[in-house]
Amino acid sequence: MMELAAYAARPQASRGRRHSEPPATPRTEYQRDRDRIIHSSAFRRLEYKTQVFVNHEGDLFRTRLTHSLEVAQIARTLARTLSLNEDLCEAISLAHDLGHTPFGHAGQDALNACMRDFGGFEHNAQSLRVVDVLEDKYAEFQGLNLTFETREGILKHCSAARARTLGDVGERFLARTQPGCEAQLANLADEIAYHNHDMDDGVRAGLLTLPQLRDVPLFRRHHDAVLARYPTLTPRQERHETIRRIVNTLVVDLTAHSAARLEGIDSADAVRAQNKPLISFSAEIAEDNRILKRFLMDHLYRHPQVYRMMHKAQRVIRALFDAFMGDIRLLPPQFHAHAQQAGDDADRARVVADYIAGMTDRYALDEHERIFDLRRLR
């Protein structure tokens, strides 16, 4: 087993689970977390939740599931290089999107708007809710009963109002301290993965071109190097070779810069006490990433073709929410029972949001058709 750095998380020193359990032997506590996440219903549903493109638009585009696997692979590589806990990084990476709605960020924005008067909707908080409450498999507790460290990593962002309701994992948002190194690392592995696979999917979908991407300095530098060395590549090879070099540059920079910032840090608690993350890119690469993110926002996420589909998706989410809030008998039995027991409109709305957020893209479209198409009798 690889020797861990002084600032790495150690399963034997975990802050524990919400409900006490016997040791996970022969697995470590973080390996148990990872296994529970992989075997959860919410994890399986990620296969049919969109990343940028609605799931039925093509079989080759990334889904939330393939994205999560790519994040986990990058995170494990980074963790090994920095002598961090690979199992914890993997668990966080695999679980970080469990609370995402159908239809990607458009679905989240629509559901948040629907929930405006009922506490709002945040996909990070929903991911935590999935593993703490909504997964329903075990006799002795709700949810998956994950360790504090995995739950801490899942909750990447959180409003102060929501943090006050979340107990131990919400405290750092109020105290303005940091999560452990593994949580910081998984967060940046997520960024590396989605920026680069969205470039790939965008070109494959015909929404971006290689000449367009050359407006991004990080892409142009590596594309020039690829063309100089391999002048006869196909466009597909050009794209793949350039993007893989970008990923490598980001990983190498993050490793070197973070290692320097971690010098002299002697414990995981010392990491948490910082007022800024210690796992980070250099200033130069951070700026390159910012430019890339802005380019993707302007040219891919707001592309007219993507916008039209997302506009339709938001109408589906809003219509479903209004229908279920108007008549809870439209909910399936399990959610109908919870809605009947709700103490007020806010509790009822949270049950409806749980149901909608758990839907896959195709299930949401089918449910919309079942409710609103008079030709569908069931």
Q: Is residue 33 part of a domain?
A: yes
Question: CA–CA separation, 339 vs 329, rounded Å?
Answer: 9
Query: For residue 4, what pLDDT is reported?
Result: 96
In DSSP terms, 17 is beta-bridged to 147
Count of structural domains, the chain: 1
Measured CA to CA, the distance from residue 76 to residue 280 in angstroms comes to 16
The residue among 126, 242, 133, 124 whose CA lies nearest residue 190 is: 124
Q: Is residue 339 part of a domain?
A: no
Is 121 inside a domain boundary?
A: yes
Is 10 part of a structural domain of the chain?
A: no
d(CA 27, CA 292): 40
Helices (runs of H) and strands (runs of E) counted in the chain: 19, 0
- Give Cβ neighbours of residue 247 (< 8 Å, ≥ 6 apart): 74, 192, 196
pLDDT of residue 63: 87
**DSSP 8-state secondary structure symbol assigned to residue 300:** I
Domain membership of residue 191 (yes or no) is yes
Q: Which residues of the chain have pLDDT under 50?
A: 55-60
CATH label of the domain that carries residue 109: 1.10.3210.10
Structural domain contains residue 293:
yes
Residue 316 inside a domain? The answer is: no
- From first CA to last CA, the distance across the chain in angstroms is 55
* 55 and 63 Cβ atoms separated by less than 8 Å: yes
Could you tell me which of 244, 255, 254 has the C-alpha nearest to residue 196? 244
Is 323 among the domain residues? Answer: no
CB 351 within 8 A of CB 126: no
| Number of C-beta neighbours around residue 24 at 10 A | 15
Closest alpha carbon to 153 in 41, 15, 1, 262: 15
Res 306: pLDDT? 84
Cβ atoms of 98 and 155 closer than 8 Å: no
Q: For position 374, what pLDDT does the model report?
A: 77
Give the domain extent around 218: 22-305
Over the stretch 325-342, which tens digit does the pLDDT of each residue have? 999 999 999 999 999 999
